[in-house]
Amino acid sequence: MSKNIGAKKPERSELGRVRDRLTFLYLEHAKLNRQDSAISVIDNRGTVYVPAAVVSVLMLGPGVDVTHRAMELIGTSGMGVVWVGEYGVRQYAYGRPLNHASTLLEAQAKLVCNSKTRIAVARKMYQMRFKGEDVSNLSMQELRGKEGARVRRVYREHSKQSKVDWSRREYNPDDFNAGTPINKALTAAHQALYGLSYSVISALGASAGLGFVHTGHDLSFVYDFADLYKAKYSIPIAFKMTAKFGDDKNIASKTRLAMRDAFKDGNLLSQMVVDLKYLLGEVNLEKDVDSLSLWDDKLGLQKMGVQYHEVEEDESV
């Protein structure tokens, strides 16, 4: 009889709910391993243990080595991983969603594939940014123009308040250090917001690629979703950090820390869960799935695991 080694795979009920988790943890120049149900983080200062079920996103910077056992635990604990290279985000990854039902994914696909429902969801997104204004009859072109004007106004306002010069967004994905301090801070701030958005979308079982405004990219819905929060989080924080630290070589790291604190203070994780359900429909995200079903266009859902050719033969006798 074989003996199981190590901690057993956590049950879904044992994992922290999305809204109750810490937003993200940024690590660099460290080795990640597994110790029971925790991620061990080893660097030149020593070892710390991070309970895997309480963090939404791990942002891994330069110099991080991750063992197979650590990735196994990350995948089964519903934790997102964002590899942040020296020149920006290099890779997003996610294990199995915390919500094992496909209900939200099916609802999202249905909304995206119909032009009327797709623009209705897009209008919902824009309405969340234009409080007190009626956008129900605006076309996508009109909405884009209205949003563009709003974003430009937000940048100008924070530039004036922080006394940080601003002309336009400039970002070279191949040379992060070539950017101005404000553009580097904006890149770091947006990265943190994209990572958290990606984690929430994936954890609840939706698709990161099925966007309503953005399209044609595997992260289209991440960009849609993150855009809802940039004016409140990443843009003002980037200007504040630039005003405070200027040419500091660690401005990206300092900006990420400020974003983490703002996410916590603003209870953003819980708000994202509420907003995602509002956009895609009030589906039951707490529903567990014990078995798969087989789809039938005439009979509806049928049980899986049944030898239907044997049933048909018995009925014909």
> Strands across the sheet with 55-60, in order?
22-27, 55-60, 80-85, 88-94
Pick the more confident residue, 58 or 216: 216
Region 263-274: mean pLDDT is 88
Looking at residue 309, what is its pLDDT?
A: 56
Kindly state whether residues 149 and 238 are assigned to the same domain. Answer: yes
pLDDT tens for 208-257 read 999 999 999 999 999 999 999 999 999 999 999 999 998 888 899 899 88
Residue 187 has which token pair?
């890149």
Which residues make Cβ contacts (< 8 Å) with residue 261, sequence separation at least 6?
Answer: none
Kindly state whether residues 260 and 169 are assigned to the same domain. Answer: yes
Q: List residues forming the annotated binding site for Mn(2+).
A: 147, 214, 227
Kindly state whether residues 48 and 122 are assigned to the same domain. Answer: no
Domain endpoint, select from 76, 94, 112: 94
Kindly state whether residues 143 and 63 are assigned to the same domain. Answer: no
Residues 84 and 58: their CA atoms lie apart, in Å, by 10
Residues 55 and 57: their CA atoms lie apart, in Å, by 6
Which residues make Cβ contacts (< 8 Å) with residue 35, sequence separation at least 6?
Answer: 49
The one-letter amino acid at 19? R
Residues 134 and 77: their CA atoms lie apart, in Å, by 41
Give the CATH number, domain containing residue 115. Answer: 1.20.120.920
Which residues make Cβ contacts (< 8 Å) with residue 10, sequence separation at least 6?
Answer: 37, 53, 76, 77
Residue 166 has which token pair?
């601003």
| Domain-embedded: residue 302 | no
Kindly state whether residues 152 and 264 are assigned to the same domain. Answer: yes
Kindly state whether residues 125 and 60 are assigned to the same domain. Answer: no
How many Cβ atoms sit within 10 Å of the Cβ of residue 251? 20
Kindly state whether residues 25 and 171 are assigned to the same domain. Answer: no
Kindly state whether residues 198 and 111 are assigned to the same domain. Answer: yes
Kindly state whether residues 109 and 84 are assigned to the same domain. Answer: no
Looking at residue 259, what is its pLDDT?
A: 93
| Domain-embedded: residue 294 | no
Region 140-146: mean pLDDT is 94
Please check the confidence at residue 11 and state whether its pLDDT lies above 90. Answer: no
190: number of CA atoms within 13 Å, CB side?
Answer: 16
Tell me the pLDDT band of 205, cut-offs 50, 70 and 90.
confident
| Domain-embedded: residue 313 | no
| Domain-embedded: residue 201 | yes
Closest Cα to residue 183, out of 261, 248, 242, 245?
242
Kindly state whether residues 171 and 256 are assigned to the same domain. Answer: yes
Please check the confidence at residue 83 and state whether its pLDDT lies above 90. Answer: no
Residue with tokens 């110099």: 63
Looking at residue 177, what is its pLDDT?
A: 72
| Domain-embedded: residue 213 | yes
pLDDT tens for 164-185 read 999 888 877 666 677 889 999 9
Kindly state whether residues 171 and 74 are assigned to the same domain. Answer: no
- For 55, the 3-state DSSP assignment is strand
Please check the confidence at residue 1 and state whether its pLDDT lies above 50. Answer: no
Q: List residues forming the annotated binding site.
A: 147, 214, 227
Domain endpoint, select from 94, 111, 128: 94
The one-letter amino acid at 262? A
| Domain-embedded: residue 69 | yes
54-58, 119-123, 256-260, range with greatest mean pLDDT: 119-123
| Domain-embedded: residue 270 | yes
Looking at residue 26, what is its pLDDT?
A: 81
Exposure b/e, 174-209, CB count within 10 A at least 16 = b: eebeebebbbbbbbbbbbbbbbbbbbbbbbbbbbbb
pTM for this model (two decimals)? 0.75
Pick the more confident residue, 287 or 300: 300
Domain that holds residue 65: 12-94
Looking at residue 313, what is its pLDDT?
A: 53
